[in-house]
């Protein structure tokens, strides 16, 4: 048995719950409290879903925060056997500061298909839309990739917009992007939305590049599969100890991990609910006795992109 459309819609309940429970902590400067509330809500709702899920990618260890831990079994145990990547809040710092683009995210694929990258915290990534296939290569300088992508799409480099996490480690990369003539969209946190928007038509992002979290990388890969986009990664150990740990787990330094290496097959589900407003989905909003949530559901088997707006009675939550 494999993940199906009913499972996709059931998983939205878990991301909605996590997003709703996190909202009292928006702008309060206490990211671990927000994350803990989201984790508890997501775990409770996942327990009711009819599938046999194993968490391959959890988020808590990297952030030293509450977590759905790697290897944890979730679901009722009935139904399809799945790998699952969870991030109850992608953007805990964004939530704590009251900034945009915080999401609650779950990605699911067939059992044994998701790369276990938990031994290394960070990956170098590049994501584009379908036009990047056979054109872009993470091993080449960013300027070459941007020129190649512009030529393949009949555009000028100056028309391209590149999303990058705003981190000191990316100072040289950002300079190279601008020297090539492209514009940047600097992300404060949460590069999952940046990667997805790079693969979707009609957004203000054409490419997402740079070093970000490995959990976010695997989660993003499930979404890119559904969108038909292009993605490559390379592990980015922080030191020799982490490099040795990664290689002992079977990960290879210097290897380019293609999309099929990150998540095999063509049966992935990605769901996300907005915690705060952003370019991908709107955040949770309370209007009197009603809580409004906005979610997106991507399914690679059918290629569908669904947007789900829901209304939840406040009385059922508090």
User: How many C-alpha atoms does 310 have within 13 Å on its Cβ side?
Assistant: 21
The b-or-e profile of 225-248 (16+ CB within 10 A means b, else e) is: bbbebbbbbbbbbeeeebbeebee
User: How many C-alpha atoms does 279 have within 13 Å on its Cβ side?
Assistant: 18
What DSSP state is assigned to residue 139?
A: T
CA distance 247 to 208: 26
Instruction: List phi, psi (to 5°) of 300.
Output: -70, -35
| H-assigned helices in 128-284 | 142-153, 171-179, 191-199, 214-227, 240-248, 259-262
Instruction: List phi, psi (to 5°) of 134.
Output: 75, 5
Residues flagged as binding site for Mn(2+): 35, 59, 87, 90, 216
Residues flagged as binding site for substrate: 90-92, 122, 167-169, 189-191, 213
Residues flagged as binding site: 35, 59, 87, 90-92, 122, 167-169, 189-191, 213, 216
């Amino acid at each position: 048995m494999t993940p199906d459309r009913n499972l996709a819609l059931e998983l939205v309940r878990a991301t909605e719950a996590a997003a709703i429970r996190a909202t009292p902590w928006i702008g309060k400067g206490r990211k671990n409290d927000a994350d803990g509330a989201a984790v508890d809500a997501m775990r409770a709702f996942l327990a009711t879903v009819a599938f046999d899920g194993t968490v391959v990618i959890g988020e808590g260890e990297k952030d030293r925060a509450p977590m759905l831990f790697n290897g944890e079994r979730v679901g009722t145990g009935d139904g399809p056997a799945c790998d699952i990547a969870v991030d109850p809040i992608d953007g805990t710092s964004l939530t704590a500061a009251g900034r945009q683009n915080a999401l609650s995210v779950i990605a699911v694929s067939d059992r044994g298909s998701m790369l276990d990258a938990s031994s290394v915290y960070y990956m170098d990534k590049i994501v584009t839309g379908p036009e990047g296939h056979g054109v872009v290569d993470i091993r080449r300088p960013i300027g070459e990739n941007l020129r190649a992508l512009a030529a393949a799409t009949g555009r000028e480099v100056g028309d391209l917009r590149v999303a990058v996490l705003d981190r000191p480690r990316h100072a040289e990369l950002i300079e190279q992007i601008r020297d090539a003539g492209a514009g940047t969209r600097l992300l404060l946190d949460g590069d999952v939305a940046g990667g997805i928007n790079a693969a979707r038509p009609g957004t203000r992002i054409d490419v997402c590049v740079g070093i970000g979290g490995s959990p976010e990388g695997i989660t993003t890969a499930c979404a890119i599969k559904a969108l038909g986009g292009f993605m490559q990664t390379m592990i980015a150990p922080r030191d020799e100890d982490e490099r040795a740990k990664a290689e002992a787990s079977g990960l290879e330094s210097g290897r380019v991990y293609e999309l099929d290496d990150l998540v095999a097959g063509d049966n992935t589900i990605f769901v996300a609910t907005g915690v705060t407003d952003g370019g991908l989905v709107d955040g949770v909003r309370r209007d009197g006795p009603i809580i409004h949530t906005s979610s997106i559901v991507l399914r690679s088997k059918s290629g569908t992109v669904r947007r789900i707006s829901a209304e939840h009675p406040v009385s059922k939550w508090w």
